[in-house]
């Protein structure tokens, strides 16, 4: 089966191979909690799910392929998407996780909604400064990619975030 390079960064490369996405980090181990984030958040539709062929290696992560487009490639955020982004981030935080690297390349827009990818710096935490960092980066994305006033989109996203966060 052919491998298609999806992206490369300072620590490794990401390939698509059929219904799988393979993240290889040959020189450094995966993020400490990266696999755990996928196990816990994948079934909630907030992150890619682990693929059944994942071996548990600390240098390779095998995830299920999710069709979609990164916010970076999409290029703009409409009001509905701003609310979806706020709601997804709230669900992540409500599940006890912070992402740690909210950016346009790590937000995937799919037919089923928004998922966050690249959990290398994610961690199980409800630590307020880390939550605030995720929220601040989301606001920065909305200002950068928003078609309306970034401030208006940030309000929409935060309203959706607060509704999810406050549900008991």
Same domain, 79 and 142: yes
Same domain, 80 and 32: no
Give the total number of structural domains in the chain.
2
- Tens digit of each residue's pLDDT (9 = 90 or more) over 6-15: 999 888 999 9
What span, in angstroms and rounded, lies between the C-alpha atoms of 20 and 129? 34
- Tens digit of each residue's pLDDT (9 = 90 or more) over 15-59: 999 999 999 999 999 989 999 999 999 999 999 999 999 999 999
Can you give the residue range of the structural domain that contains 114? 69-165
pTM: 0.90
């Amino acid at each position: 089966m052919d491998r298609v390079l999806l992206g490369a960064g300072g620590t490794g490369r990401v390939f698509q191979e059929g219904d799988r996405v393979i993240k290889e980090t040959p020189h450094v181990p995966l993020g400490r909690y990266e696999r755990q984030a996928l196990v816990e958040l994948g079934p909630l539709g907030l992150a890619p799910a682990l693929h059944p062929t994942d071996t548990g290696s600390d240098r390779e992560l095998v995830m299920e392929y999710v069709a979609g487009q990164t916010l970076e490639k999409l290029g703009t955020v409409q009001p509905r998407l701003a609310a979806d982004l706020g709601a997804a981030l709230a669900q992540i935080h409500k599940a006890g996780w912070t992402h740690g690297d909210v950016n346009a390349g790590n937000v995937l827009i799919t037919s089923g909604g928004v998922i966050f990818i690249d959990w290398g710096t994610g961690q199980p935490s409800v630590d307020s400064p880390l939550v605030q960092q995720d929220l601040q980066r989301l606001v920065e994305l909305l200002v950068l990619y928003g078609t309306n006033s970034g401030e208006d989109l940030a309000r929409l996203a935060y309203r959706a975030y607060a509704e999810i966060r406050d549900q008991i």
